[in-house]
């Protein structure tokens, strides 16, 4: 069971059966044609934040901010804990295998939380990897065009 919060105000529960039964066809990169209750829907994924599970989606010319919570996220929230407060992130590892398309930072650069650091292409989607915290970039272990495996070290903070 997943929870999706749309535009920080509407919350929906989604089960995996509903997702599997969705009649969606990818028409081009990050663009989909969906049939739901005999209605035609055009959807496009505009931005993704894989680490925070946030997406910006355009549906029939309306733009929505969507945050998805899985079972673990829901359990942590129910227990009263905030995600990420227990540790300080000192490095960023690849969340999945992919290709480094773009690097937006340099060694020694000051970054703020949520600044875009790099773009990782995986499964035909461009995933923007944002900074999890404020800090200074200590090292960049990849370069544009590199192929990386899951959990490969990408960036270190001072």
| 85 within a domain of the structure (yes/no) | no
pLDDT the model gives residue 81: 63
Last residue of a domain, one of 25, 42, 72: 72
Q: Distance of CA 78 to CAs 10, 14, 67, 69, 75, Å?
A: 18, 18, 17, 12, 5
Residues 68 and 10 in one domain: yes
Number of structural domains found in the chain: 2
pLDDT in tens, 10-49: 888 888 787 788 888 999 999 999 988 888 999 999 998 8
Q: Are residues 51 and 110 in the same domain?
A: no
134 pLDDT exceeds 70? yes
The pLDDT value recorded for residue 86 is: 42
Residue 59: pLDDT above 70? yes
The pLDDT of residue 122: 87
φ, ψ dihedrals at 18, nearest 5° = -65, -40
pTM of the full predicted structure? 0.48
φ, ψ dihedrals at 102, nearest 5°:
-155, 140
Q: In whole angstroms, what separates CA 110 from the centre of its chain?
A: 22
Residue at 137 is within a domain: yes
Containing domain of residue 28, as a range?
A: 2-72
Q: Say whether both 44 and 97 belong to one domain.
A: no
pLDDT at 82: 57
Residues 116 and 60 in one domain: no
CATH number where 142 lies: 2.40.50.100
Model pLDDT, residue 17: 83
Cα distances from 114 to residues 17, 19, 129, 145, in angstroms, run 33, 29, 9, 23
Residue 51 pLDDT > 70:
yes
Contact 105, 128 (CB under 8 A): no
- The answer to whether residues 11 and 4 touch, using CB atoms and an 8 Å cutoff, is yes
Percent of the chain topping pLDDT 90:
49
Lowest mean pLDDT among 17-26, 97-106, 129-138: 17-26
What is the distance between the alpha carbons of residues 106 and 139, in angstroms, rounded to a whole number?
8
- DSSP 8-state secondary structure symbol assigned to residue 85: -
d(CA 31, CA 27): 6
């Amino acid at each position: 069971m997943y929870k999706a919060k749309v535009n920080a105000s509407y919350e929906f529960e989604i089960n995996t059966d509903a997702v599997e039964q969705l009649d969606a066809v990818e028409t081009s990169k990050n663009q989909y044609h969906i049939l739901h209750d005999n209605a035609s829907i055009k959807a496009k994924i505009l931005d993704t934040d894989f680490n925070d599970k946030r997406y910006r989606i355009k549906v029939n010319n309306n733009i929505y901010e969507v945050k998805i919570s899985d079972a673990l996220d829901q359990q942590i929230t129910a227990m009263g804990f905030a995600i990420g407060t227990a540790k300080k992130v000192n490095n960023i590892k690849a969340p999945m295998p992919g290709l480094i398309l773009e690097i937006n930072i340099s060694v020694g650069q000051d970054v703020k939380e949520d600044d875009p650091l790099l773009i990782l292409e995986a499964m035909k989607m461009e995933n923007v990897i944002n900074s999890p915290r404020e800090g200074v970039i200590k090292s960049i272990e990849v370069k544009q065009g590199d192929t990386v495996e899951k959990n490969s070290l990408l960036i270190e903070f001072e």
